[in-house]
Structure 1
Amino acid sequence: MVVVALVSAISGLLYGYDTGIISGALLQISDEFTIGNGWEQVIAASILAGAVVGALTCSRLAERRGRRGTLLVVAAVFVVGTVAASLAPDPVTLSLARLVLGFAVGGATQTAPVYVAELAPTRYRGRLVLCFQIAIGVGILVATIVGASRSVDWRVAIGAAAVPAAVMLLLMLRLPESPRWLVEGGRADRAREALQRVRPRGADVSGELSSIAGLVHAESEASTRGWRGLREAWVRPALVVGCGLAVFTQLSGIEMIVYYSPTILTDSGFSDSTALRVSVALGATYLITQLIGLAIIDRVGRRRLTLVTLPGAALSLLVLGTFFVTGNSGREQVPYIVVTLVAFMAFTAGGIQLMGWLTGSEIYPLATRAAGAAAQSASLWGTNLLITLTLLTIIDTIGTGQTFWLYAGFNVVAFVFLYRRMPELTGRSLEQIETHLAEGRFRPADFARPERDGTTAR
């Protein structure tokens, strides 16, 4: 399980680094290629367009080749895309290379959390899946530090990601396939071997294997499979919650800050060095608060942690927008603006950002899990793409402060949506979650009731 979590972490690291490195690199790229905001948006967004394609394509690959086989393909594409981007001679080639790189990013975000969730014991599932999310924070922090140094050429900074991608490829060669996918394909013996490799030595996996087999049989009889299965009425509540949560993780404003904070700050009169140092502070905050969230999520609960932190994120953006709207965004107010940005990052990274990938790996029934995770990833990346392609234009049109207010409103809407629709999944096995769906008991209140076997949600 340590190696499984490590592979998941490397894929998250690559996602965080490859998307975050563009923030500081854009300052160098725009000077070298002599480009403006339009091309900057295209270069930043191209990786997101590729991620949408990767998420949808790798869903089918995960069903046909297995989770492990798909991650092998993803790792290879990471290497190719990274090298191509680092050697790009012009903005067109750079955008196309980042499009290829985006395929790997989307494929990793769709497949890695599902792979870990299907191998992990219920007790540790949340923490192991969130290794992926934490690694995203590490990748973003490393990227901001590299960008802030200003001594590393952007080509070297981008190309360095090929090393962890190659390590991921090598590690995947020694890992087992998902036991749930193997049972679904009628390979129970191999599924038993896979479980035994990731459980304590001598542990009896017969009960767990029997539970998986029973669920697979019931789903095959019901013909609820793949993308078609997502349209089934009993699966739809999970799809609504999962995709809604994915959309709001982006509308929270996190990507606006990660991708464009140096550009926003320099356009508002901040020096390049100050803007890049702020990016490092934000990257560090992202990582620290995610580690705190990782430590407490299984005790506090997924739903509660999200609902407690969303109001703080909305208030931070409201205050931040007020600084710019009232003209209090000069040098004297820099400390207050930075504190507000850090507060926003803490509330967002330690709350709703933890849930985006975790729910996609556990909320859907087994037979639709790959398709559901792909739909959720595509929703996330599609929203991210729309934001990245339009953000600088929106700022030019309505102003920096008003844009922050707009995203504060999105956080309020997210709170209302999740309060009404998102159940508490902490402490539930994948099979229990699926049972709730099948019985039409997927509202928050339904998960507060005792289980039929006498257990209760923690």
Structure 2
Amino acid sequence: MVVVALVSAISGLLYGYDTGIISGALLQISDDFQTGDGWEQVIAASILAGAVIGALTCSRLGERRGRRGTLLVVGIVFVVGTLGAALAPNPVLLSVARLVLGFAVGGATQTAPVYVAELAPTKYRGRLVLCFQIAIGVGILIATIVGATELVDWRISIGAAAVPAAIMFLLMLRLPESPRWLLKAGQDDRALEALERVRPDGYDVRAERDEIAELVQEENQASTSGWRGLREAWVRPALIVGCGLAIFTQLSGIEMIVYYSPTILTDNGFSDTVALRVSVALGATYLVTQLIGLAIIDRVGRRRLTLITLPGAALSLIVLGTFFVTDNAGKAQVPYIVATLVAFMAFTAGGIQLMGWLTGSEIYPLATRSAGAAAQSASLWGTNLLITLSLLTIIDTIGTGQTFWLYAAFNVVAFIFLFKRMPELTGRSLEQIEGRLHEGRFRPADFAADDRSRTPAR
């Protein structure tokens, strides 16, 4: 199980590092290749286009060929894409290599959490999901620190990711296939062997195998399953909430800040050093507030935490935009601008960013869960791609401050959407959530009414 935890952590680390390293690297790449805003957007966005393809492809590949086999392929693609990007002689090949790398990023974020969840004992499952979520923040922080040193050439900083990718591949060679997938494929004996390899001596693996087999049988007999099942009317509310939430995690402005904050700041008169140090502060804030959010989410509630933090994120962007619109973005205002950026990152990373991956594992019915998670992942990466391809162009067209205001408006729309659509899932079992969908009672008011009915009268 230590190896399983490491695989989960490395896949999250690679996601955070590979998407975050381009932030500081773009400053060097633009000097080496003499690129303008158009090419910078393509270079940054190519990994996201690959991630959409990887998430959708690996979802189907994981069902047909197994989670372990898919992750072994992903590990190889990680290494190839990373080395290709590091050795690229021009922006065209750099973009192509990052497209390949993106396939691995999307495939890993789609397959690794599913594989780990299916292999882990129930009491450790939450901790292993935590490893993945926190590792994303660690990856982003490491990427910003590497960029802020200004001593590491961009080719080395990008190519360094090949090392953890190779380690992930080697670790996967030691691990068995998912017992759940093996049972679904009719390989009962191999499923038992897989469980024996990741359970302590004396553990009743046969009872666990039988329990998994019952769930697999229920899934196989379900009338609503897979991608086709997502089109069913009773499943649609979950799909709307899940994909809507995924889209708004990106429209919140988080990727604008992660990818382009050094570029935005240097374009507005900040030195490279200051801009890169701000990136480190933002990366640290992301990690710390993610830890805080994960520590309190089960007590505060998913819906409540999201609705509390969204207004703070919107207000931070309004204030940030005002600095630039009123031409108060000079040296004297640097501390206030940095403080506002940090505040935005804290509200966003500690709130809505926690929900994008979490809801995909719990909001969908059992028989459509894999397809629903893939659709949600593709929605997230697709929105990220559109933002990354258009952001610098939007800034050039309407201005930096006005762009911050635009993203503040997205946060307001997100608040309205989630207030009306997203029920409080905290404290509900997966079976209870699926039951509400079956009953057509998936609105926030329906869940609140159930809570009131269970509260004893005084």
Same fold (TM over 0.5): yes
| Pairing 1:111-122 to 2, within 5 Å after superposition | 111-121=111-121
- In structure 2, the partner of 1:59 is 59
Does residue 1:154 correspond to 2:154, yes or no?
yes
Q: Which moved more, 1:10-19 or 1:251-260?
A: 10-19
| Pairing 1:258-297 to 2, within 5 Å after superposition | 258-297=258-297
Counterpart residue identity of residue 19, structure 1: T
Q: Which moved more, 1:203-212 or 1:82-91?
A: 203-212
Deviation of 1:439 (Å): 3.7
| Pairing 1:71-150 to 2, within 5 Å after superposition | 71-121=71-121, 124-150=124-150
Deviation of 1:264 (Å): 0.3
Question: Using a 3 Å threshold, how does the CA distance of structure 1 residues 116 and 442 change in structure 2: closer, same or farther?
Answer: farther
**Is contact 1:77-1:100 (8 Å) kept?**
yes
Question: Using a 3 Å threshold, how does the CA distance of structure 1 residues 412 and 133 change in structure 2: closer, same or farther?
Answer: same
Question: Using a 3 Å threshold, how does the CA distance of structure 1 residues 426 and 83 change in structure 2: closer, same or farther?
Answer: same
- In structure 1, the partner of 2:255 is 255
Question: Using a 3 Å threshold, how does the CA distance of structure 1 residues 57 and 141 change in structure 2: closer, same or farther?
Answer: same
| Pairing 1:207-218 to 2, within 5 Å after superposition | 209-218=209-218
Deviation of 1:247 (Å): 0.3
- In structure 2, the partner of 1:20 is 20
Cα shift readout 1:345-370 (whole Å, capped 9, x = no counterpart): 01111111111112112322333222
**Is contact 1:252-1:408 (8 Å) kept?**
yes
Deviation of 1:417 (Å): 1.6
- In structure 2, the partner of 1:437 is 437
Deviation of 1:135 (Å): 0.9
Deviation of 1:131 (Å): 2.0
Q: Which moved more, 1:285-294 or 1:359-368?
A: 359-368
Cα shift readout 1:332-351 (whole Å, capped 9, x = no counterpart): 00000000000000111111
Deviation of 1:115 (Å): 2.2
Q: Which moved more, 1:108-117 or 1:252-261?
A: 108-117
**Is contact 2:361-2:369 (8 Å) kept?**
yes
Deviation of 1:207 (Å): 6.2
Tell me how far apart the structure 2 counterparts of residues 110 and 197 of structure 1 sit (CA, whole Å): 24
**Is contact 1:179-1:191 (8 Å) kept?**
yes
Please state whether the residue corresponding to 2:21 is helix, strand or coil.
Answer: helix
Deviation of 1:7 (Å): 0.9
Deviation of 1:171 (Å): 1.3
Tell me how far apart the structure 1 counterparts of residues 137 and 170 of structure 2 sit (CA, whole Å): 23
Question: Using a 3 Å threshold, how does the CA distance of structure 1 residues 18 and 72 change in structure 2: closer, same or farther?
Answer: same
Counterpart residue identity of residue 187, structure 2: R
| Pairing 1:314-333 to 2, within 5 Å after superposition | 314-333=314-333
Q: Which moved more, 1:292-301 or 1:192-201?
A: 192-201
Counterpart residue identity of residue 64, structure 1: R
**Is contact 2:58-2:110 (8 Å) kept?**
yes
Tell me how far apart the structure 2 counterparts of residues 438 and 368 of structure 1 sit (CA, whole Å): 13
Please state whether the residue corresponding to 2:442 is helix, strand or coil.
Answer: coil
Please state whether the residue corresponding to 1:173 is helix, strand or coil.
Answer: helix
- In structure 2, the partner of 1:37 is 37
Counterpart residue identity of residue 82, structure 2: T
| Pairing 1:395-414 to 2, within 5 Å after superposition | 395-414=395-414
Counterpart residue identity of residue 71, structure 1: L
Deviation of 1:305 (Å): 1.9
Tell me how far apart the structure 1 counterparts of residues 254 and 228 of structure 2 sit (CA, whole Å): 32
Question: Using a 3 Å threshold, how does the CA distance of structure 1 residues 165 and 271 change in structure 2: closer, same or farther?
Answer: same
Cα shift readout 1:189-235 (whole Å, capped 9, x = no counterpart): 44445455555654446665555434433332334222112112222
Does residue 1:242 correspond to 2:245, yes or no?
no
Question: Using a 3 Å threshold, how does the CA distance of structure 1 residues 430 and 183 change in structure 2: closer, same or farther?
Answer: farther
Does residue 1:379 correspond to 2:379, yes or no?
yes
Deviation of 1:299 (Å): 2.7
**Is contact 2:222-2:367 (8 Å) kept?**
no
Cα shift readout 1:22-64 (whole Å, capped 9, x = no counterpart): 1111111111111111110110011011111111111110110
Tell me how far apart the structure 2 counterparts of residues 165 and 430 of structure 1 sit (CA, whole Å): 33
Please state whether the residue corresponding to 1:176 is helix, strand or coil.
Answer: coil
Please state whether the residue corresponding to 1:258 is helix, strand or coil.
Answer: helix
Please state whether the residue corresponding to 2:364 is helix, strand or coil.
Answer: coil
Tell me how far apart the structure 1 counterparts of residues 175 and 150 of structure 2 sit (CA, whole Å): 39
- In structure 1, the partner of 2:350 is 350
TM-score, normalising length: structure 1: 0.93
Deviation of 1:128 (Å): 2.5
- In structure 1, the partner of 2:186 is 186
- In structure 1, the partner of 2:302 is 302
Please state whether the residue corresponding to 1:152 is helix, strand or coil.
Answer: coil
**Is contact 1:321-1:405 (8 Å) kept?**
yes
Q: Percent identity?
A: 85
Does residue 1:232 correspond to 2:232, yes or no?
yes
Counterpart residue identity of residue 224, structure 2: T
**Is contact 1:14-1:136 (8 Å) kept?**
yes
Tell me how far apart the structure 2 counterparts of residues 14 and 70 of structure 1 sit (CA, whole Å): 16
Q: Which moved more, 1:8-17 or 1:420-429?
A: 420-429
**Is contact 2:140-2:283 (8 Å) kept?**
yes
RMSD: 2.3
Deviation of 1:447 (Å): 4.3
| Pairing 1:419-438 to 2, within 5 Å after superposition | 419-438=419-438
Cα shift readout 1:366-393 (whole Å, capped 9, x = no counterpart): 3322221111111111100100010001
Deviation of 1:237 (Å): 1.8
Tell me how far apart the structure 1 counterparts of residues 119 and 373 of structure 2 sit (CA, whole Å): 16
Tell me how far apart the structure 1 counterparts of residues 447 and 152 of structure 2 sit (CA, whole Å): 51
Counterpart residue identity of residue 138, structure 1: V
